[in-house]
Structure 1
Amino acid sequence: RQALLDQLNALVPANTIDNDIVSDVVSVSDPERLGGKETQVYLGRKAGKPVAAVFTSIVPDGYSGPIKMLVAVRTDGSLGGVRVVSHKETPGLGDKVEERKSDWIYSFENKSLENPPLAKWKVKKDGGVFDQFTGATITPRSVVHTVKNTLIYFRDHGVSLFQKAGA
């Protein structure tokens, strides 16, 4: 529980919420957008008002298998951050999605579906704005795609997530 709380607070700082974010959780199902059969969404609130939602999104098509991530989306649709929780990517190549291996994962912070425009939510090799890794394009391409899809899911369902859990 403490490890999960620490991971969530890295994306949604404790001073921005006053609820128990670990317990304020809903399950949703949208394998196409969120990657897993069932996705846990942790909800951050302050004085009962929504602040951010943290999705346990799955990148189903990583180079070496699924990549589990936490994707924090603020109520304004901007990203609070993205962190990889587990993966099986190649050491020295695809593992640069890890925070301790590279600062690449920080490139998502404060981004939204408008910044960059939706059409630019790709790696540079595909005409987008996000860097890929030398010798490893599949992993970053897949992560960018899943983060974009998580933002789209939040845009379409964000309000109902907080209502589902009850205020």
Structure 2
Amino acid sequence: MTGTPPPEKPQLPWFKASPLAHGIMLALFSLATAVLLAIANDSTSAPIAARGAEDLAASLEQVIPRDLHDNDLAASLRPITDAEEGAVSVYVATKSGTVTGLAFEMSGPGYSGLIHVLLGIAPDGTLLGVRVLSHTETPGLGDKIEVAKGDWILGFAGKSLQDPSPENWKVKRDGGVFDQFSGATITPRAVVKTIYRGLNFFDRNKAALTAPLPAKS
């Protein structure tokens, strides 16, 4: 008795068997993915940029009061190249063409990473306001530098290189006048040093920073 021959294996379609076809399919898949990513990027870039502009405007208003200027701070940039700080972008506040305030960012190493601080300074060198933009300090300890977590950062308004004197621009544990936090001295120490650097940056570049902005054509 003869057995039934096994069924023949179906032949693979040419596009599954050919290495060239595999390469074409991979290329088409990559192209489709790239197109989708480009569409997604175009659809989200504008909202992201708008949100960034809103955040910047809100931060600037916290360190330069709205009633001090009649210009668009975000659009009034003055680049300064400083011997110690390098390139710094400074936002210039004006009222009727007169410079009434300046805002710029300074960064310094904290306990667990860089602390980014935004300073607002009057033309006479007095601090109008200070805010911490970002940090990676310990929650519950170092994060008290945020205005949302405490009023410590508000205490710098009205200070200058002369008030307090240079030797007192330190936390109290180091012989200065600024409070530190219980269990966290490194973070406030870093912020104080960063603000003091910012005041010195302003002092070194005061003439250039307070000069009238060029008239727009």
Which residue of 95, 100, 107 corresponds with 1:51? 100
Alignment of 1:52-67 (within 5 A): 52-59=101-108, 61-67=109-115
**1:5 and 2:57 aligned:** yes
What displacement does 1:85 show? 0.7
Which residue of 145, 151, 164 corresponds with 1:116? 164
Per-residue CA deviations over 1:54-88 (Å, capped at 9, x if unaligned) read 011112x1111001111111111100011001100
Aligned mates of 1:83, 1:76 — CA distance in 2 = 20
TM-score using structure 1 length:
0.91
Equivalent in the alignment of 2:27: none
Q: Is the 8 A contact 1:93 1:133 kept in 2?
A: yes
Equivalent in the alignment of 1:68: 116
**1:42 and 2:91 aligned:** yes
Aligned mates of 1:73, 1:98 — CA distance in 2 = 19
Question: Residue 75 of structure 2 aligns to a residue in which SS?
Answer: coil
**1:141 and 2:209 aligned:** no
Per-residue CA deviations over 1:97-131 (Å, capped at 9, x if unaligned) read 10011110011010011111111000000000000
Question: Residue 56 of structure 2 aligns to a residue in which SS?
Answer: helix
Aligned mates of 1:131, 1:32 — CA distance in 2 = 27
Letter in 2 for 1:113: L
4+ aligned runs moved over 6 Å, structure 1: none
What displacement does 1:30 show? 4.2
Per-residue CA deviations over 1:21-40 (Å, capped at 9, x if unaligned) read 1011123344845xxx5432
Q: Is the 8 A contact 1:25 1:165 kept in 2?
A: no
Is the helix fraction higher in 1 or 2? Answer: 2
Aligned mates of 2:115, 2:82 — CA distance in 1 = 16
Distance 1:142 1:32, change over 3 A: farther
Which has the higher Rg, Structure 1 or Structure 2? 2
Aligned mates of 2:64, 2:98 — CA distance in 1 = 14
Question: Residue 149 of structure 1 aligns to a residue in which SS?
Answer: helix
- Of 23-32 and 131-140, more deviation after overlay is shown by 23-32
* Long gaps (5+) in structure 2: 1-52
* Long gaps (5+) in structure 1: none
Alignment coverage as a number of residue pairs: 163
**1:97 and 2:145 aligned:** yes
TM-score using structure 2 length:
0.71
Q: Is the 8 A contact 1:69 1:86 kept in 2?
A: yes
Question: Residue 129 of structure 1 aligns to a residue in which SS?
Answer: coil
